[in-house]
Structure 1
Amino acid sequence: MAGTIGAVSGVALGPKPSRADVPAPSRQGWQAVPAPGSTPAAQLRSIAAAGPRLAWAVGEESLAPQSQQRALAMLWNGSVWTKTDLSHLGHTRLSDVAGVCSAAAWSVGQPVGSGSPLLRWDGTTWREADFPGRGEPDVRLNSVAVGPDRQVWICGSRGGAARLLHGNGRRWRWVDPLPVASVYLYRVVVRSPGEVWVSGDQSNGGGWSGLVARWDGKWTVLPPIAGLRLGIADLHSAGPDDVWAVGTEAGAGGPVGRPGNPALSHWDGTAWTRLEPGFTLGSLTAIAGDARGRAAWISGWNFQDQSRSTYLRRDGETWTVVRGPAGTAPAPYLNDVTSVPGTTGFWSVGMTRPAPYPPTEAYAEHLQA
């Protein structure tokens, strides 16, 4: 894997000017929602919502030294988060989750033994599902998406090549390999039936560049997003000429533990444009669209002010920094953000501190707009 996307810790490099943070509106702001029951250190890496009364969040727990790391899953029932029993599984991490209803929810996780697991929600818990390549040592499933037609798309690798796995729960097939070498995929996104986007990074010899590509029966690979060790953690496509990509540029040099730089890019159908995200040290971890299909919210981490969670909110053609609730976590770090279908609300998840060490706990915030 050329680059990495995830939580980091670092040393202060001194404040730098950026545009003023905008507090979330008092009656329509982000609010922390307890996600109890996990064993520190714990974090939620991904969240998916089927509606206001059903959502899933996954990650990992028990990351303390000399402890056995375990996969973590939470379920939202419209009122509270509850921990899902995974004692029948031996997985150490669930890295992504997607679902549109209780009969069409899927998760992928960290390999245990040979190959990555694919899990399906059975209405009560997560169960392993079969797929071509299951158990093969070189198979990695990194991210999963489910379309409104309940078709499942999974990005990862098989046979040394970046691939997509497509299926409906009964029949599966691997599509043609991505025609780019030395690629690691972080995210798969369904824009419409038959149109799927992926993001990640691509080795460029001296580091890696951001990668975004589209599958619609054939691959279309967009030009690389230039940067010093730049990985694209997530993307949102409103059309072939309106694609947003978010991630972290690790850069080069600096002290040990230096945080990266948040990276925000837009594709207009011709070229990528890098935009100023509003803060200079940290990361952008995920992006979510609104009910109209437009990019709306970005989750991030602002190294220079860790007292509250950090978002970017779409305001017309610009992005504005918005802060989450104060005093709910020591230094919250967000890994993912998603919309709630049928509403104007959003969920985000992560952990209470920016490093996955005790006493870090699983963390969630909700925007009921």
Structure 2
Amino acid sequence: MRRRRFVAGAIGTFSGTALGPAPARADAPTPRTQGWQAVPAPGSTPAAQLRRIAAAGSQLAWAVGEEGRAGSTQGRALAMLWNGAAWTKTDLSHLAHTRLSDVAGVCSTAAWSVGQPAGSGSPLLRWDGTTWREAAFPGKGEPDVRLHAVAVGHDRRVWICGSRGGAARLLHGDGQRWQWLDPLPVASANLYRVVLRSPGEVWVSGDQSNGGGWSGLVARWDGAWTVLPPVAGLRLGIADVHSAGPDDVWAVGTEAGVGGPPGRPGNPALSHWDGTAWTRVEAGFTIGSLSGIAGDAHGRAAWISGWNYQDQSRSTYLRRDSDTWTVVRGPAGTVPAPYLNDVTSIPGTAGFWSAGMTSPAPAPPTEAYTERIEA
């Protein structure tokens, strides 16, 4: 069985590209609006999208993705830099990559990105204060090495999830010395996100084969692997995970369902781990996806980025209100149908960034897109 991999902003995988935009349901509850503002991210070549975003503070943030994609033709890596006042496109002409898939950073000298090369092997990139440069690591250039996501701690140590030797793994290092850790003890697993809760506690999410499809995968590394029970669903992939403690873990993603025509929208998947079992939680809409989750200054899950197929007029979020999640909409009239791939907190503030693209399909004239909430 060849499994269709879950990726943020997948080309027609879970978006409505084949079916077209759906009108808002007349009987749907009216969602709240709360403070999100579009922030221009100029300079990308359509089709373009930002897949991930990271912030070191109010004056420094990075966003990465791809641009210049046309149909099945691969595009080029795209990187943006926030200087506290505006986004600017970073020159990547010295690199030969088709996509940057994730980014993480805590200061101007401790930011990292991983991507998809034009040839074999996955690149690891380091921010030098001006641009992105390739960094060495064990396995660089090997055709079976794939780096999917990256996290950086306040101690500037780097955690990367990917695969080597046919197994899902973590790569850990300080920029000079690197080590591949023990393989994840799950057969046929894909990892899409790595999240650092503390210097010794790392979470990953993705999917795993269940014999007839795939289930959501969440695991913790604290010197050894602890794999939580699979998140049940019909072809379910977990795009992001947030842990506030061993009995308070949230997982978000998309359930592809029983199948259908190319471009069939999936269903948003939101699940909570209470230390004993997973509980499926209603997302507030039934067709679409959930792509990212971010915590507040106290480490508590606060915002989820998503896409509501049945009402694409604005961006869609879930906001944590006490013990419930409430649908919140982004700004009206900024772009026709924004699609969000990620959301992240802004350290030292009560604000958050989100990133994605100006329509659900990365095809011209789609461009890079960001939003921000300051409180």
Where on the TM-score scale, by shorter chain, does this alignment land: which range?
over 0.9
> CA offset at residue 236 of structure 1?
0.3
With over 3 angstroms needed to count, the CA separation of the structure-2 counterparts of 1:179 and 1:290, relative to structure 1, is: same
Kept in 1: contact 2:22–2:309 (CA 8 A): no
Partner of 1:283: 289
> Can you give the 5+ residue segments of structure 2 that lack an aligned partner in the other structure?
10-14
- 1:313-332 map, 5 Å: 313-332=319-338
Partner of 2:98, secondary structure, is coil
- Map of 2:203 onto structure 1: 197
**Could you list the per-position Cα deviations for residues 128-182 of structure 1 after superposition, in whole angstroms to 9, with x for gaps in the alignment?**
0000000000000000000111110000000000000000000000000000000
Q: Could you tell me which residue of structure 2 aligns to residue 308 of structure 1?
A: 314
Q: Distance in 1 between matches of 2:94 and 2:335?
A: 31
Q: Identify which of 96, 99, 111 aligns with 1:93.
A: 99
Tell whether the 8 Å contact from 2:22 to 2:312 is kept in structure 1 after alignment: no
Q: Which residue of 1 aligns with 2:12?
A: none
| Counterparts in 2 of 1:354 and 1:122: CA distance versus 1, 3 Å | same
**2:99 counterpart of 1:83:** no
- Aligned equivalents of 2:26 and 2:136: distance in 1? 51
Q: Does 2:228 align with 1:222? A: yes
1:17 and 1:285, CA in 2 relative to 1: closer, same or farther beyond 3 A?
farther
Determine the structure 2 residue equivalent to 1:169. 175
**Superposition deviation, residue 328 in structure 1:** 0.4
> Residue type of the partner of 1:54?
L
Contact 1:337–1:346 (Cα < 8 Å) also in 2: yes
| Cα deviations by residue, 1:20-65 (Å, 9 ceiling, x for unpaired) | 31122xxxx0000000001000000000000000000000000125
Of 5, 8, 23 in structure 1, the residue corresponding to residue 7 of structure 2 is 5
User: 1:187 corresponds to which residue?
Assistant: 193
**Which secondary structure does the structure 2 equivalent of 1:92 belong to?**
strand
Residue 253 of structure 1: how far off its partner (Å): 3.6
Distance 1:253 1:292 in 2: 40
Cα displacement (A) at 1:330: 1.0
Distance 1:226 1:133, change over 3 A: same
Candidates 233, 239, 247, aligned match of 1:233: 239
Contact preservation (8 Å) 1:2, 1:208: no
Which residue of 46, 54, 70 maps to 1:64?
A: 70
Decide whether aligned partners of structure 1 residues 202 and 327 sit closer, same or farther in structure 2, where only a CA change above 3 A counts: same
Assess, with a 3 A threshold, how the Cα gap between structure 1 residues 112 and 17 changes in structure 2: closer, same or farther: same
2:253 is matched with which residue? Answer: 247
Q: Figure out how many residues of one structure are paired with residues of the other and give that number.
A: 365
| Aligned counterpart, 2:33 | 23
Q: 2:44 aligns with which of 38, 41, 45?
A: 38
Work out whether residues 22 and 311 of structure 2, in 8 Å CA contact, stay in contact via their aligned partners in 1: no
Query: 1:93–1:109: 8 Å Cα contact kept in structure 2?
Result: yes
Q: Deviations over 1:289-319 (max 9, x none)?
A: 0000000000000000000000000000000
Do the aligned partners of 1:2 and 1:183 also contact (CA within 8 Å) in 2?
Answer: no
CA displacement at 1:13 relative to structure 2: 7.4
- TM-score (normalised: structure 2): 0.95
When the two chains are superposed, the root-mean-square deviation of aligned CA atoms in Å is 1.5
8 Å CA contact retained: 1:263, 1:274: yes
Q: C-alpha distance in 2, partners of 1:67/1:213?
A: 34
Write the distance in 2 (CA, Å) between the matches of 1:66 and 1:211: 29
Q: Does residue 349 of structure 1 match 2:355?
A: yes
| C-alpha distance 296-355 of structure 1, shift in aligned 2 (>3 A) | same
Q: What's the offset of the Cα at 1:3?
A: 3.1
Q: CA deviation at 1:2?
A: 4.7
Question: Displacement of 1:194 after TM fit?
Answer: 1.0
TM-score, normalised by the number of residues in structure 1: 0.96
Distance 2:214 2:318 in 1: 25
The DSSP-based 3-state class of the residue aligned with 2:65 is strand
Equivalents in 2 of 1:171, 1:254: separation in Å? 47
- Percent of aligned positions that are identical: 79
Q: Unpaired runs of 5+ in structure 1?
A: none
Closer, same or farther: CA 313–135 of 1 in aligned 2, 3 Å: same
Post-superposition Cα deviations, 1:51-92, rounded to whole Å, max 9, x if no partner, equal 000000000000125976110000000000000000100101
